[in-house]
């Protein structure tokens, strides 16, 4: 990609962000100051800056780079800017198609799980344990979401989590 089609570079991976393309910024104002100016080509690249950022509450904001003839320094949000990593506020029952698009990533912190098992039993833990435990956590989360939805809430509370 030549400089004439490049708007900025991703702050994490340094890949070019072209004019008119989608990019992400951090919702925290200190990350969006003119001198800081963090721009990310993907949500995954945005996540790279989180460990050192010390944000209390944060999300990626989807934006669109200006067209080639527009002011190259400004940023223009997409008409609806909402957290890219957060789910929509609609009840789970109305999102059956979106369910298939959910990532099947590991939800368990491997180091913490392994430390717990080692401390409580002296046993070692295989990495292959993380997938089935993540499926169990997803199932419990789905039950908690349904419980909150039945009560007309969009916040999952402790009481929504099934007792073991």
16 & 45 share domain: yes
Read off the DSSP letter of residue 91: -
Q: Write out pLDDT tens, residues 84-142.
A: 444 444 444 445 545 566 777 888 899 999 999 999 999 999 989 999 999 999 999 99
59 & 105 share domain: no
Q: Write out pLDDT tens, residues 123-134.
A: 999 989 999 999
Among the three residues 50, 77, 104, which one is the final residue of a domain in this structure? 77
100 & 69 share domain: no
- How many domains does one find in the chain? 2
Q: Please give the pLDDT value at position 140.
A: 93
In a domain, 86, yes or no: no
Q: Please give the pLDDT value at position 100.
A: 60
In a domain, 84, yes or no: no
In a domain, 37, yes or no: yes
> Among candidates 11, 6, 15, 2, which has minimal Cα distance to 65?
6
In a domain, 46, yes or no: yes
71 & 121 share domain: no
14 & 66 share domain: yes
72 & 97 share domain: no
Q: Please give the pLDDT value at position 133.
A: 93
Q: Please give the pLDDT value at position 70.
A: 66
Q: Stretch 145-150: mean pLDDT, rounded?
A: 94
In a domain, 87, yes or no: no
Q: Helix or strand or coil: residue 50?
A: helix
151 & 96 share domain: yes
99 & 156 share domain: yes
99 & 134 share domain: yes
**Residue 22's pLDDT band (boundaries 50, 70, 90)?**
very high
Q: Please give the pLDDT value at position 85.
A: 47
Chain position carrying tokens 């929504």: 160
Q: Please give the pLDDT value at position 106.
A: 86
Domain extent, residue 57, equals 6-77
Angstrom CA distances, 156 to 52, 94, 128, 148, stand at 28, 17, 29, 6
Q: What is the pTM of this model?
A: 0.41
Query: What residues contact 48, with CB distance under 8 A and at least 6 apart?
Result: 12, 13, 40
In a domain, 1, yes or no: no
In a domain, 82, yes or no: no
Q: Write out pLDDT tens, residues 25-62.
A: 988 888 878 888 889 999 898 888 888 787 878 888 89
70 & 102 share domain: no
**Residue 76's pLDDT band (boundaries 50, 70, 90)?**
very low
Q: Please give the pLDDT value at position 30.
A: 83
Among the three residues 53, 77, 101, which one is the final residue of a domain in this structure? 77
64 & 112 share domain: no
Angstrom CA distances, 157 to 23, 35, 92, 118, 147, stand at 33, 40, 15, 31, 9
Average pLDDT over the chain, rounded to an integer: 80
């Amino acid at each position: 990609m030549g400089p004439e089609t490049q708007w900025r570079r991703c702050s994490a991976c340094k890949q070019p962000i072209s004019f008119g393309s989608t990019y992400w910024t951090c919702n925290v104002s200190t990350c969006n100051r003119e001198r800081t100016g963090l721009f990310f080509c993907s949500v995954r690249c945005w996540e790279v800056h989180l460990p050192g950022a010390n944000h209390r509450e944060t999300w990626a904001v989807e934006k669109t780079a200006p067209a080639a003839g527009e002011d190259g320094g400004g940023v223009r949000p997409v008409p609806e800017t909402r957290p890219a990593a957060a789910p929509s506020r609609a009840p789970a029952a109305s999102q059956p198609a979106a369910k298939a698009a959910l990532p099947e990533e590991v939800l368990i912190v491997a180091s913490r799980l392994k430390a717990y098992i080692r401390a409580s039993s002296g046993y070692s833990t295989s990495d292959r344990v993380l997938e089935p435990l993540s499926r169990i956590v997803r199932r419990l989360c789905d039950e908690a979401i349904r419980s909150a939805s039945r009560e007309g809430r969009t916040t999952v509370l402790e009481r929504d989590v099934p007792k073991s």
